[in-house]
Structure 1
Amino acid sequence: MPSDCITYQNSGYFSKLIVAYLDQKTELKSLYNRFPSVENFKDQIEEKNKNFPFENREILADALLNQYQKFAISETTSVNIQLLKNSNTFTITTGHQLNLFTGPLYFLYKIISVLNLTKELKTTYPENNFVPVYWMATEDHDFEEINYFNFNGKKIQWEKESKGPVGRLNTSGLHEVFEEFSNELGLGNNAKYLRDLFKKSYLEHDNLADATRYLANELFKNEGLVIIDGDDSKLKKLFVPYAKEELLHQTSFKKVNETIPLLSNYDVQVNPREINLFYIQDDLRERIIFENGFYKINNTSLSFSESEILTELENNPKNFSPNVILRTLYQEVILPNLCYIGGGGEIAYWLELKSNFEANNVPFPILLVRNSVLLVTEKQVSKLAKLNVNWEELFLKQKSLSDKKTKEFSKFTIDFSEQKAILEKQFEQLHQIALQTDKSFIGAVKAQEKKQIKGLENLEKRLLKAERQNHASKLERIFEVQNELFPGKSLQERNQNFSTFLKEIDNYESFLDKIATNLKPFEQKFAIITL
């Protein structure tokens, strides 16, 4: 098959806002700091270096070492944590929810994008160090979004009640999930590896944060990945001044609402609350609401005066959790970060936040859309080649693909544009005659022209339908492959779990290597990788 290029802009799977961002539309330039290019990192390094307190580095490294206490980590990761103490070391970060067994494939693509970018930056700026970071979204509460993964078309789900931050959730009930997954695995190439990986991650750790750390560390243990949990007292302490600003002045609410009108031509991803902080305990995650002079914890009887909540913030910063609006600021306060790598939805909400960073005197990171991938088997490639379908066509919606291939397969030209043009020319003469007669005749000519054009369009549709039926068998074979590669008519990377694909290769390392080799951090196109 031809190796045609499918850009994100032409794929049909990215929002209008992200397409405009990738095209560097003028109206969006005030919403980001620097567009992602290897050259622009020079100024980003200088800006972050001038605005990141050196003392924060020691606190960050100590917090990370404490978080890793119970885990065996590679020498590369250990060195990277120590390097964070140096003023010439910076991070490249992605974040993700604690999806069961990594969830969809793009979890891997996010981290690989980060790893590849750190390597490219090290080549370009050898005097600096670049540490890849995965930020675990341990303080999220959307358990229904993360409690399952899809394997071979089956939903493997963890049934459990969850009220507080998901990272603190205990792993009880996952033994049953393991048994179900184990039975589904059967005797495939990597069945033992996958069973052991799931078992050691989820059955040998007490909470979801530790289980996810173990899993991500195992998958990328040789790459120096540093995994961070923001649900940490030492790190939250660094964020206290910003949380105080939020409680007293609601700065983020004001600044983000000033930005939203600049996005009037696009869908807004998130809307700010008056206070963008939660109050959290092990089984509690509720919004902080300012009402009648008191700070109330939503859906509880808890209430604080101004002095009481500021004392609570100072003494127990871990009880305060930023929501989506402020989590980004928290990340950039505690990390010497240069760039955030995320999916289209994430970049969309980051584009609302720059003015809030400026108000808090925190440098806004470079925003890079993560790499996207379509994994295919040799068998699928062979089928598509025989059917004469290229990759660009495969990304079309099924109706458009059906129409295009039907016209291509047909012996006839299923396009009556020429006939319509002839008809319109004939009616031009009638219009000239009509202008010289009664006005009612003009209306009759227009109505007749419209009727006959409509008649040609209907004939065209009927011919297309008839030809579609004539070529139904061939079209079905095309749709069969498309449905395999775009399950649920969605992107494979948003639906499938990595475990489904391990049966196509010898081992996990070769799977990762093949993906990493084919991804380039600054390329704005889908990578199509044959397993």
Structure 2
Amino acid sequence: MSTEVYHLSSAQPLTEAYIQQSDERIESLFGYHPEKEQDWSRRSKRLENTAASRVESVALAEALRDYNTKFQTAPEAQASINAIAEGAPVIVGGQQAGLWSGPLMVVHKAVSIIGAAKWATKQLGKTVVPVFWIAGEDHDWDEANHTYVLTAEQELRKLSVQRPEGARTSVSRTVINEDTWKELLAELEQSLPHSEFKPVMLEQLSQAAERSQSLSDLFAGILTTLFGKEGLVVLDADDSAIRKLEAPMFRKLIEQNDELERAYVAAADKVKGFGYELQADVVPGSANLFVFQAANGNERTLLHKLEGKFQDRKGQVSLSKEELLQLADQEPSQLSNNVLTRPLMQDYLLPVLGTVLGPGEIAYWALTGGAFRHLDMEMPIVIPRMSFTLVEGTVAKHMAKYELTFEDVATRFDEKKQHWLTEQDQLSIDERFAAVKQSFNDMYGPLLELASSVQPGLAKLGETNRQKIVEQIEYLESKTKDAHNKQYEASIRQLDRIALSLWPSGKPQERVSNMTSYWNRYGLTWLEKLLEVPYERTGGHQIVYL
């Protein structure tokens, strides 16, 4: 296997400063750092000393076992759950569910979680368990309902599923029927090119769909299929058994809501004072909690504090503090976290040694440090997610043919493509047409002056006439170039295939392409190669040649 390190900018200055430790002020927003080996030991010791303040490990393991068993997870994952029952710490990272697992960065996050857990196990000399937190409580259907695959015609095709009729509830509570799964699977089969691995892949995806009632279930089933043997445990944040365990923390979040709000506001002011932009909204008066409206199809609604009540913006929900606390105690499945309270809940539920986050997530976690401290908790080690670009053999071959680097494709592809086509122009089409236009303008100028001297009104007519003639010359130039370029259609297809593979729709591969395109072509050897890449505690981007 061949790999190449490439610095892929995250477009998050705060995250870059945290990873590189280039701004010492940032340390106060977090606490630990993955590059400091002593921090791993410190955090591990902290978890041992605070076990009584979290969910009881046996009860947690029981809920995880019930959920993971639904997806026929591997013995290695069951062993991980047994380790959690005995108090093992975890490395956790999460993502909202996506159709057929969503973009490749989901796979990259799972690989990072597993890599961090293996590294920590070796470093600490005790079992550390990888856990994938499925953000099933989220209700943004348009984020979860689609994915993109490369078709047999070498086109990027969007596959999606419409949201069933009903209230805007969580993804995990949005039920997908059996016929819809069959239609989605048929569309995937039709989209992907034929290969020796396709039948097995489709069979495994079909089995996952048969066990699924929601996109979250399908997502969990795919993760267990791909990573169960690596000991990965999946958790759905909207699982009712998990919600029951979280009830005491919901009570804390409600009872101390004003103090937590002040902590978030203070952190936001600090981040802005350091010169960084906020990556999550800190809204005055927000409770940073959602409620599911049972009377309205379990629609998920954000709560705000208005006139001593917890209300929604439309005034359809209005709960007193006592009523909300009663809900937390008796029906915790009707409550849900937002991006600012989720880190607190995660740390209460799990013994989190470290959390694997993407660039944007690291930036908004910077807002939560004060809230952790207010609840006498500590932010875990924030671990940057590793990312990858998969380069197929034919793509690498074509890159070499056209002398393209990955950076060329990512930052200046259109320019490089046009430069290559221009170099093929042995007829000097650009120069010769430019010369004709210049010659015409030179000859036409005196005629225009002559006409306007005879009658000033002819100047405008003459200029319009000049523009039309130039436009006709340019039209002929365009047609000549098209005809010339037709000679290089195969090369243009090869060039476009490079961009489509590595930088589809002008974005990094990991944010667009779905893993089924690679599973279909290579079986699971591509995934094995990712798992073999040496783990990097500070993330980074690696180009992996298949």
Q: TM-score normalised to the size of structure 1?
A: 0.80
- In the alignment, which residue of structure 1 is the partner of 2:377? 362
Q: Which amino acid aligns with 2:12?
A: S
Aligned AA (1:373): F
Q: Secondary structure at the match of 1:308?
A: helix
Name structure 2 gaps, 5 residues minimum. 151-155, 425-480
Q: CA deviation at 1:78?
A: 1.3
Say yes or no: does 1:277 pair with 2:289.
Answer: yes
Paired residue for 1:214, among 203, 218, 221? Answer: 221
Query: Pick from 158, 164, 182: which aligns with 2:169?
Result: 164
CA contact (8 A) 2:102 2:144 kept: yes
Q: Mapping of 1:22-33 within 5 angstroms?
A: 22-24=19-21, 25-33=23-31
Distance in 1, matches of 2:423 and 2:417, equals 10
Partners in 2 of 1:377 and 1:283 — Cα distance? 45
**Deviation digits for residues 310-359 of structure 1, max 9, x if unmatched?**
22221111111111110111011100011111211111111111111111
Does the Cα contact within 8 Å between 2:261 and 2:287 map onto a contact in 1?
Answer: yes
Closer, same or farther: CA 362–498 of 1 in aligned 2, 3 Å: same
Q: SS at 1:332's partner residue?
A: helix
- 2: CA distance, partners of 1:75 / 1:367: 29
Structure 1 residues 530, 278: CA separation in 2 closer, same or farther (over 3 Å shift)?
Answer: same
Taking the TM superposition and a 5 Å limit, the aligned residue runs for 1:505-524 are 505=522, 507-508=523-524, 510-522=525-537, 524=539
Assess, with a 3 A threshold, how the Cα gap between structure 1 residues 20 and 90 changes in structure 2: closer, same or farther.
same
Change in CA separation of 1:177 and 1:120 when aligned onto 2, cut-off 3 Å: same
Which residue pairs with 1:292 in the alignment?
307
Q: How does 1:100-499 map to 2 (within 5 A)?
A: 100-126=99-125, 128-152=126-150, 153-161=156-164, 163-172=168-177, 173-248=180-255, 249-264=257-272, 265-273=275-283, 274-280=286-292, 281=294, 283-299=298-314, 301-398=316-413, 481-499=498-516
Could you say if the C-alpha distance between residues 501 and 209 of structure 1 is closer, same or farther in structure 2, counting changes exceeding 3 Å?
closer
Q: CA distance change for structure 1 residues 519 and 370 in 2, over 3 Å: closer, same or farther?
A: farther
Q: Indicate conservation of the 8 Å contact 2:114/2:130, yes or no.
A: yes
4+ residue runs over 6 A deviation: 402-409, 472-477
TM-fit CA distance, 1:139: 0.2
Q: Does the C-alpha gap of structure 1 residues 477 and 203 become closer, same or farther in structure 2, counting only changes over 3 Å?
A: closer
Superposed CA RMSD: 2.9
1:69 CA displacement = 4.3
For residues 116 and 77 of structure 2, what CA distance do their matches in structure 1 show? Answer: 16
1:300, distance to aligned residue in structure 2 (A): 6.2
The alpha-carbon deviation at position 13 of structure 1 amounts to: 4.3
Does the aligned pair in 1 maintain the 2:131–2:235 contact within 8 Å?
yes
Q: Is the 8 A contact 1:80 1:131 kept in 2?
A: yes
DSSP 3-state at the match of 2:340: helix
1:247 CA drift (Å):
2.7
Q: In the alignment, which residue of structure 1 is the partner of 2:90?
A: 91
**Deviations, residues 146-184 of structure 1 (Å, cap 9, x unaligned):** 101111111111012461011111112333222211222
Moved more, 92-101 or 307-316: 307-316
The answer on whether the counterparts of 2:4 and 2:544 sit within 8 Å (CA) in structure 1 is no
Percent identity for Structure 1 against Structure 2:
23
Q: CA deviation at 1:207?
A: 2.9
Structure 1 stretches lacking a partner, 5+ long? 410-468
235 and 502 in structure 1: CA distance in 2 versus 1, 3 angstrom threshold: closer
| Distance in 1 (alpha carbons) for counterparts of 2:306 and 2:189 | 51
Q: For 1:210 and 1:332, locate their aligned partners in 2 and report how far apart those are by CA, in whole Å.
A: 23
Would you say the 8 A contact 1:59–1:234 is kept in 2?
no
**Does the CA contact (< 8 Å) of 1:32 and 1:364 recur in 2?**
yes
Distance apart, 1:403 and its partner CA = 10
Q: Deviations over 1:178-226 (max 9, x none)?
A: 2211222353222212322332222442233332222211111211111
- Give the secondary-structure state (helix, strand or coil) at the position aligned to 1:29: helix
Q: Deviations over 1:264-310 (max 9, x none)?
A: 22221101342011111463100123322333345464432332222
- Amino acid in structure 2 at the alignment position of 1:488: S
Amino acid at match of 2:127: N
3-state DSSP class of the match of 2:228?
coil
Deviation at 1:501, TM superposition (A): 1.7
CA contact (8 A) 1:4 1:390 kept: no
1:355-378 Cα deviation digits (max 9, x unpaired)? 111111122111111111111111
Superposition deviation, residue 400 in structure 1: 7.2
Q: How high is the TM-score relative to the length of structure 2?
A: 0.78
